[in-house]
Amino acid sequence: MTKSGMKVGFIGLGIMGAPMALNLLKAGHVLYLYSHGKVPGEFAEQGATLCTSSEEVAKRADIIITMVPDTPHVEDALFGERGVAQGLKECQRGADDRLGKVVVDMSSISPMATKEFARKINALGCDYLDAPVSGGEVGAKAGSLTIMVGGPEAAFERVRPLFEAMGKNITLVGGNGDGQTTKVANQIIVALNIEAVAEALLFASKAGADPAKVRQALMGGFAASRILEVHGERMIQRTFNPGFRIALHQKDLNLALQGARELGVSLPHTASAAQLMQSCAAHGMAGLDHSALCRSLELMADHEIAQAPAA
């Protein structure tokens, strides 16, 4: 697509947001950017426009994307002073029922709050999509993210070309809030898989087996998984530089447990994984990759996965 592509606003240029926005630029879309952190110089070099507020982004763009850490950050970006809502006040559907502007939140936040945010944006005459992602920094850079979308189908189809520039597995799950619910479910599965891989490799290492060879053998059987492939290697190689930080996964598991209380269901193993991540955070590891969940198990065992067994 050429520079006649969509006029896109992007708010939040962190570990995930920056590569996602770059992929939109590479796809030929016109970008208007705002971030509390430093904006990488390559954006200006490639023709993106830096804005002074979320309000300015909303005024200048037709599709406004937020990619920030947590529910309060989304609320501030949308409804805070000089927020997106201030720039949408004149956003209305045309007489021929064409869509007005669309707000797309790609953060991972509360499904219940998402429904309220959608109602407020709809009241301004604009559509809202919740479209959280999975795939981490690697997927963000490669443009291979899984994108789980909640919202009206017409708005989804309008934004689909943007999603296709950032991801590969793109699904309209249902209405507003359903995308966020799907992401919470995803984070439950990922956390429990990380815990399972960590327990298995720790057991094997403490028993005297080579965890690298154990992992290699398991990759050829029914226990094979993306978590065993990627995070199992991280545990063995001790490469815990963040692709997805423990602190962010803690937030997602807290959303799961909060939702479980509201729904009256029990998620015992989700609670266990949340406690292991809390132990890591208490030991100063909240900024490490979530594969470092294994460190809490290692501390209890007084043994590291990559450590040679005692003679």
**Sign of the C-alpha dihedral computed for residues 174, 69, 289 and 168 taken in this order:** positive
User: Could you give the CA distance from residue 194 to residue 202 in angstroms, rounded to a whole number?
Assistant: 12
User: Could you give the CA distance from residue 4 to residue 6 in angstroms, rounded to a whole number?
Assistant: 7
User: Could you give the CA distance from residue 142 to residue 213 in angstroms, rounded to a whole number?
Assistant: 29
Of 155, 159, 162, 156, nearest in space to 126 by CA: 155
* Residue 183 is a catalytic residue: yes
Count other Cβ atoms within 10 Å, centred on residue 53.
18
User: Could you give the CA distance from residue 26 to residue 161 in angstroms, rounded to a whole number?
Assistant: 13
Pairing of the two strands 7-11 and 133-134 = unpaired
Q: Which residue among the candidates 101, 183, 206, 251 is catalytic per the annotation? A: 183
Pairing of the two strands 145-150 and 133-134 = antiparallel
User: Could you give the CA distance from residue 31 to residue 133 in angstroms, rounded to a whole number?
Assistant: 20
Round to the nearest angstrom and report the end-to-end CA distance of the chain: 62
User: Residues, the chain, total?
Assistant: 311
The amino acid at 296? S
42: which residues sit within 8 A by CB, 6+ positions away? 22
Q: For the chain, give the longest Cα–Cα distance.
A: 80
Residues labelled catalytic: 183
